[in-house]
Structure 1
Amino acid sequence: MNHNLQKRLSLYWDKFGTLVILILLVCFMAIFGPPQFIAPGNLLQIAIQSSITIIIACGEFFAILIAGIDLSVGSVMGLVGMVTAKLIVLDIMPWYVAVLLGILSGALCGLFNGLLINVTGLHPFVITLGTQSIFRGVTLIISDATSVYGFPQTFKDAMGGWLGGVIPSAVVIALLLAAILWFFSSKTVMGRNIFALGGNKEAAWFSGIHTKLYTLLVHTLCGVCFGLAGIVYTARIGSAEPLAGQGYETFAIASAIIGGTSFFGGRGKIPTVVVGGLIIGTISNGLNMLGVSSYYQQIVTGALIIVAVTVDRLFKGKSAK
């Protein structure tokens, strides 16, 4: 009886848990928060504020899916944002070419992480903790610890502003990326192999999956997502900051975990990760409107991570092992 109940609760949590959390959160803020919270303009603002979190969470999703983690999120964001900004202000190429080269530099950062993980055999936590400092140091060196600004309006509109003056480009980019990665993870052989790798690495290897190659692929995807988020962030604020992205690894991990991605690997969905990003954005927006200090927001985010992992372990811990 207890086993059946656990299975049913696990099934409901997988399907509806993240969405229920978001709905309850919105209802709570609608009842106890200011009336402006449920205004269409503010709900759109939540979506815009959540877009960067969604982009980095989509990358972190793959790292956690293979029972790993990537802590270099913020540093890759800062480095790619700075590289892209430098290329744009040099005015030797169109801004969209600079964006593509920036995304490529993010992919190289992820590839570097994957190579170190494969060569050393160390846990991704250790490797990405180290590269977090390396990438940040490189950013400070190439920027001389100063901001870079002076971008063309077309770049700011296309990557972080409004398309046609009515559609927020950051939201479009986040949803388009999520759709592509959902298709990749759920409808392709490579995506299914990544799930298999996260479920049981040894079994995946015996079944013919090139585990090291997929580790490289996963971390390269992480780098692409983090780099794209850094470019969107740079376009939104209108400048590249040497310390941009600091602390964003917490948002990425929280969104992925709250979005139902198992910390034990092998289980998760991109759509619920998107909802996880919206939860983080809703909490931030709601607490700001209530005048709650950002210090307390950090407490709430940390508590949500602990609760989500605890629930995941309660429902799926035994089967994951």
Structure 2
Amino acid sequence: MGDQAPKPLRRLGFLTIGLFDGTNPQAGHESTLEVIQLGEQLGFDSAWVRHRHLQYGISSPVAVLAAASQRTSRIELGTAVIPLGWENPLRLAEDLATVDILSGGRLNPGVSVGQPMHYDAVAPALYPDTADAEDFGYERVSRLLRFVRGEPATDFAGKEGIEVFSDRVEPHSPGLAARMWYGGASRRSAEWAGENGMNFLTSSVVKAEESDDFGQIQLGHIRAFRGRHPDGEGARVSQGLVVIPTDSASAEQRRRYESYVDSRLPRTAAPQGPARLLFAPDLIGTSEQIAEALYRHPAYREVDEVAFALPFSFEHEDYVQLLTDIATRLGPALGWRPAG
């Protein structure tokens, strides 16, 4: 495990995609809310939801987390991540602040930039008049940050008749800006997030720009982020690998889990596509085995908080088993203690 022991895990979270059946979407959304409630009961520090547009996954994570905020009282609620290419930053800032107020200051919005997937197909519906003029770069995040921080959104404020207008986004949630995260897969994104004082989400996908070694690439991103952040080594980074502990799984569950992992393993062998995306292998086995693999992971050794990703297509009872094993076996094996 090297010459330096890894830090005890300080914060343990999980990430779910929130899949649903298009013919009965309520059941899937209810399952997601129940999973978040279970996470709080098990002592997890945070629960995160993915964002999927025009698919059978959560398309409105802010709305889902608004509901989750009313079913929980302690667990932090995050998005990993909202693709800002689909969003108006001012309107999103209003939604985020509203949910943060409703949750009592527990929202952790994670965002990213880039052109929406299948943009040529979706642009006529998304931006019918401005598709060619839209800017999908970092400035879109900068606008969101300014609005969340309470900087002016307009030069008009005051009374007009019986109505009162503010020059900033309302409601304003003062602590929200410190809980904004950037989900990045490249070194430049890591550096930008640091330069702009955000927290950094790094997941099971990176761009193979410097090498084909996932752990070393991710380690480089973490160090680049902290090297540019005002808080330096104290800047927050959360790692999000896929873990599948099998401690309490049935024989049938283990077979399905192993088949799932095997089906995804080929994509981890080399960078994929023009963007050279490199995927980390899913970690499957007993909690002790997964802990040992994490202790050997160079990027994991740099962090003290994680948001482990749950597999995409499992059943509700599978998520119950996985979360229970993560909270009661894997977390403690990593030095974590459940929240009270």
- Give the TM-score normalised by the residue count of structure 1: 0.25
**Of the two structures, which has the highest relative contact order with CA contacts closer than 8 Å and spacing of 6 or more?**
1
User: Greater helix share, 1 or 2?
Assistant: 1
- Give the TM-score normalised by the residue count of structure 2: 0.24
